[in-house]
Each structure stands twice: as structure tokens, then as C-alpha cells.
Chain A
Amino acid sequence: MNLPLYAQLINLFAALLLLLAFAMLTQRRVLSLINLFALQGFVLALSTAVVAWSTHQSHLYYSALLTLALKVLLLPWILHRLIRALNVRWDVEPLINIPATMLVGIMLVIFAFNLATPIAQIAGTITRSTLGIATASILLSFLMMITRRKAVSQVIGFLAMENGLFFAATSTTYGMPMVVELGIALDVLVATLIFGVFFFQIRETFESLDIHHLEKLKER
């Protein structure tokens, strides 16, 4: 294997993305979770910029900038403000059995890698081998949404899943059209704002952000 430097860099960023997805899966504190999410966004922006530079697709520079502005600066800022307002800044989540979650995570990674390998072989892009990693980080974020009990970490899981999807798009097709990307970015932003309102509503009703309280909603 003697890949050119930019392909090696993209592979490295892909690996870092997966590493951060795993770190988020094991993280108990909400504050660290947000910081990890911001870091993941930063790695994503870097990898998008490298893809843009190597393929001379100038619209990818804009989407890298968009990622940087939205996922590294704006969304973490909103989330930081939210957890400060909700006073869950140092909240430690009672997570069920991290080692078991991680074992499931490894299984998901193996599944994703196996799934992606045949697809990657027929693809023609330089970044094709990272498809497996993108799939894996989507699945890991999904797992995080399932295993978490607090609303804030579920939302972070959702946002991290969007990171994975975005990475899959860049690595397989050199990015979606600009209109679609702008649309998704706006969607994510609005979703976060609405989730923020939801947090307050959930807490006002149940005096906790634990989603399990929602199950008691049915009439007796």
C-alpha cells in the first residue's frame, strides 16, 4: 500500500472520527460529551478540507467552513448554554454497564466494516475505504442514542450521527450538492434549538431530564 499523502491524511481523520465516536460512547459526563462532539466536528471539517484540496472541488471548502462554524462553534456553544441553563453541567449519567456497551460497539464496527467492504470495492473515489468507518460511526452514535437515558446526551448522539452521515457523503461522493448541505445544516441547527425548548418542557413536567419518565405518560 502506497497511497498518496492526502489519502493517508483522510484515512487518519477517518480513524480519529471513529476513535472520537467510541470515546463519546464511553463518556459519562455531559460536559465532556459536548467537548468531544466539538472535537469530532473539527476533525470532520479538516477531513472535508483535505478532500476538497485533493479533488479540487471548491464547494467542499464551503461545506468545511460550514461544518467548522456550525458544529465546532455554534452548536457546542448552544449546548453549553443549554446545560448551564438546565444546571446539568456536571451531571454524571447513570449509564448501564459501559463495557457491555463497548462490546456491542465493537460488534457494530465489525458489522459495518463487513458491510462496507464490497461496496467500497466497486466505488471509484480515492476515499472509498473510509465508507466502513463512516457507517461504523453512524451506528455507534445510534447505539449511544439508544443506551443513554438523559435527553441532552441523546441529542448529542443525534448530532454525532449527522457527523457520520456527512462524513459518509464526503467520502463516497465528494459531498452532496451545496443546496442539500445547506438544508441539512439548517435542519440540524433548528432541530437543536427545538430540542432545547423540549429540554425545558420535559424538565418542567417531570423535574428531570430522564427520558424514562416519558413512559409513564399513559393514563391509568
Chain B
Amino acid sequence: MNPASETVFQVLQSVLVVLIAPLVLGWVNQCRAWLQNRSGPGIWQPYKVLNKLFHKDAVLAHNASPLFRATPYILFGCMWLAVGIVPVLATSLPFAPAADVIALVGLFALARVFVSLAGMDIGTSFGTLGARREMMIGFLAEPAMLMTLFTASLISQSTSLVTIVETLGQNEFIIYPSMAFAAVAFLMVLLAENARIPIDNPSTHLELTMIHEAMILEYSARHLALVEWASSLKLTAYFAIGFAIFAPWGIARAGDWIGLLIAIGALVVKLAAAGAGLALLETVSAKMRIFRAPEFLGTAFLLATLGMLTHFLLEQ
């Protein structure tokens, strides 16, 4: 396999995922609207919002530090790097050996630290409140996420996502019971990390309940656009990690052009299904009190632990 075509695949994957990330968000919102008997804004709405925001003039608070200006770019960069590392379309990409799942979780943590600092930077009470809540959710969600990924690592004997995909998806099909636990735990972490409904409501600006929105309240124009784009990228990245571990079929090897077409088709189908599922889940469940969140994420952590235990019992 020649390095040139691998690089082409890497660029293709990174660009494609960045371009379709707002579409994923639009699809989820559209599905939610349909389920709530509304006609909905259409799946292209996030692009229109981004376009509008990029054409506005940015307003900054007087006491904003350089950190506040830099954060949207760092955030967007982290998320872009994350979707470059995760095997979304193809395995054995040049970026893939750069980071395993632990580094990936660290990358998300880096983004979280910066966005929290930026939330506190202006000094408004909302930003600080949001940042504190975000850090609480984050420190509970991270171990659960790691345990989920370790369950998959135990099966494939590697913490590299590429090896996990190759072991689970490109060999013969085996049912791993421990993955049932890991899948439930991962779903709970996904909801918490992406500020989706049982933990946070992405469409609210109600003062007492918002977490993610509270932190980015001070951003406007191109900064806000980048932050919004980064959060849709984060959702897509989490979906992609979920696909890589729990539904790793159809992911091509780098340099395989026919496989790439199949991979794009499979990705579209999987994203559509996952988005609709997320919308359904958000519609049927209610937001829980912030003090229930530790319980929710504690459950996720223990389920992931249970998955590892089950692996030792059933799959040795």
C-alpha cells in the first residue's frame, strides 16, 4: 500500500466528516421535530446558521483574554483531529497510529478544559456555572468512557481503534456478550458528553438547566459558528467511535477505492439510523435533575465494569 493513497484517504475522510457534521445535527433536529409533530427547520438549517454566523461581526467583552479568542479554534482543531484519528471511513490511515483510544479521550478532555476556561474567562455567573457543571459531568463521564473502550480493548488485545475495528469487523462474526454492557454504557456517556437530553437540553436557554449553552453564551459570530460546528463534530466523532466499536462493518482499508464507496454508503446508513435513534431517545425521555447526573454516569461506569467482568467469565 502506497503512502500517497493513504494520505489521500486521510484528507478525504477528514474533509468529508467536517462537511457532513452539521448535516448530522440537522438530521437529528429534523427527526426530533417530526417526532414532536412539528414540521421542523429542515436538515440544512445548521449550514444556514453557520453561514449567517460567519457573515456577522464578532463582539467581544472588554475583559476577554486571548484565551477566550483562541478557544473556538482550539476546540474546532481538537474535534477535527479526533475525527481524523477515528476510523470513520477507512483503517490504516497515517493519523491513526498517532493516538489510541486513551489519547482520544484525552483530546476530548483538552477541548473540555479550554471551553470551561473560556466560559469562566469573562467572569459572568452563567459561564462559571456552566463550566463547573461541565467539569462535573466530564470527570464522571471520562472513566465510564475509558472502561467502555477497555472492554473493546480486552477483546482485541489493543487500545488502538484501528486494531479494534479490524478484530471486530473484518474477521468472522462473533457475538461478544460483554459488548451489550459496553454499548449501553457508551450510549449513556454519549448522551452526557454531547449535552443531549437526560443530562442537558441542547435547545434550551433556560437559565437554571443549561450546561453547554451557559458556557458559550458570550460567544458571537465566527467564534460561535466554530463552537457550534465543533459540537456537531463532537457528536459525529462519538457516533463514529460507537460505529467503530459496536458496528464496525463496511469500513474500508486505506487504498481500497471500491471499499471506500461501500464505506461511505454504510456511514450514511449508520449515521441516519443513529441520528433517528438519538432523536427518538431524546423525545421519549425527560431531562433529569443535575444532581441525578452522577447517578446516571455512575451507572454507566458500573455497567462498563460489568462488561469487563462478563468478558472474563464468558469469553476467555
A residues with a Cβ closer than 8 A to B are 1-3, 5, 8-9, 11-12, 14-16, 18-19, 22, 26, 98-99, 102-103, 105-106, 109-110, 113, 116-117, 129-130, 132-133
- Residues of chain A with a CB closer than 8 A to B175's CB: 5, 8-9, 11-12
Which of A12, A14, A18 is in CB contact (< 8 Å) with B306?
Answer: A18
Which of B174, B180, B309, B316 is in CB contact (< 8 Å) with A16?
Answer: B180
Q: Is the CB of B184 within 8 A of A19?
A: yes
Which of B174, B294, B305, B310 is in CB contact (< 8 Å) with A18?
Answer: B310
Chain B stretch 276-299: residues in CB contact (< 8 A) with chain A: 294-295, 298-299
Q: Is the CB of A132 within 8 A of B302?
A: no
Q: Is the CB of B306 within 8 A of A106?
A: yes
Q: Is the CB of B306 within 8 A of A130?
A: no
State A26–B292 Cα separation when bound (angstroms). 12
Which of A1, A5, A98, A110 is in CB contact (< 8 Å) with B316?
Answer: A1
Could you list some 19 contacts between A and B, CB below 8 A? A1-B174, A2-B174, A8-B174, A8-B177, A11-B177, A14-B314, A15-B314, A16-B180, A19-B303, A22-B302, A98-B299, A102-B298, A105-B302, A106-B309, A110-B309, A113-B312, A117-B313, A133-B313, A133-B314
Q: Is the CB of A14 within 8 A of B177?
A: yes
- Residues of chain B with a CB closer than 8 A to A133's CB: 310, 313-314
Which of A16, A26, A110, A130 is in CB contact (< 8 Å) with B314?
Answer: A130
Q: Does B186 contact A (CB under 8 A)?
A: no
CB proximity of A120 to chain B, nearest CB, Å: 9
CB proximity of A114 to chain B, nearest CB, Å: 10
State A110–B310 Cα separation when bound (angstroms). 10
Q: Is the CB of B302 within 8 A of A113?
A: no
Q: Is the CB of A99 within 8 A of B313?
A: no
State A3–B174 Cα separation when bound (angstroms). 8
CB proximity of B20 to chain A, nearest CB, Å: 33
Q: Does B68 contact A (CB under 8 A)?
A: no
- Residues of chain B with a CB closer than 8 A to A26's CB: 295, 299
Contact with A along B180-195 (1 / 0, CB 8 A): 1100100000000000
State A12–B298 Cα separation when bound (angstroms). 23
State A103–B303 Cα separation when bound (angstroms). 11
State A160–B181 Cα separation when bound (angstroms). 19
Would you call the interface of chain B mostly helix, strand, loop, or mixed? helix
CB proximity of B150 to chain A, nearest CB, Å: 16
- Residues of chain B with a CB closer than 8 A to A113's CB: 309, 312-313
CB proximity of A105 to chain B, nearest CB, Å: 8
Q: Does B207 contact A (CB under 8 A)?
A: no
Which of B181, B298, B313 is in CB contact (< 8 Å) with A129?
Answer: B313
Which of A1, A2, A15, A103 is in CB contact (< 8 Å) with B302?
Answer: A103
State A117–B312 Cα separation when bound (angstroms). 10
CB proximity of A176 to chain B, nearest CB, Å: 23
Top-9 shortest CB links A-B: A15-B177, A8-B175, A11-B177, A99-B298, A11-B314, A15-B180, A12-B177, A12-B175, A132-B313
- Residues of chain B with a CB closer than 8 A to A2's CB: 174
- Residues of chain A with a CB closer than 8 A to B177's CB: 8, 11-12, 14-16
Q: Does B315 contact A (CB under 8 A)?
A: yes
State A19–B179 Cα separation when bound (angstroms). 11
CB proximity of A103 to chain B, nearest CB, Å: 7
CB proximity of A38 to chain B, nearest CB, Å: 18
CB proximity of A141 to chain B, nearest CB, Å: 16
CB proximity of B314 to chain A, nearest CB, Å: 5
CB proximity of B307 to chain A, nearest CB, Å: 8
CB proximity of A187 to chain B, nearest CB, Å: 30
Q: Is the CB of B310 within 8 A of A102?
A: no
Q: Is the CB of B180 within 8 A of A12?
A: yes
- Residues of chain B with a CB closer than 8 A to A9's CB: 175
Q: Does B160 contact A (CB under 8 A)?
A: no
State A144–B175 Cα separation when bound (angstroms). 29
CB proximity of B308 to chain A, nearest CB, Å: 11
**In the complex, which residue of chain B has the Cβ closest to the Cβ of A2?**
B174
State A105–B299 Cα separation when bound (angstroms). 11
Q: Does B148 contact A (CB under 8 A)?
A: no
Q: Does B92 contact A (CB under 8 A)?
A: no
Q: Is the CB of B305 within 8 A of A19?
A: no
Q: Does B91 contact A (CB under 8 A)?
A: no
CB proximity of B76 to chain A, nearest CB, Å: 36
- Residues of chain A with a CB closer than 8 A to B184's CB: 19
State A15–B313 Cα separation when bound (angstroms). 10
Q: Does B178 contact A (CB under 8 A)?
A: yes
State A133–B295 Cα separation when bound (angstroms). 24
- Residues of chain B with a CB closer than 8 A to A132's CB: 313
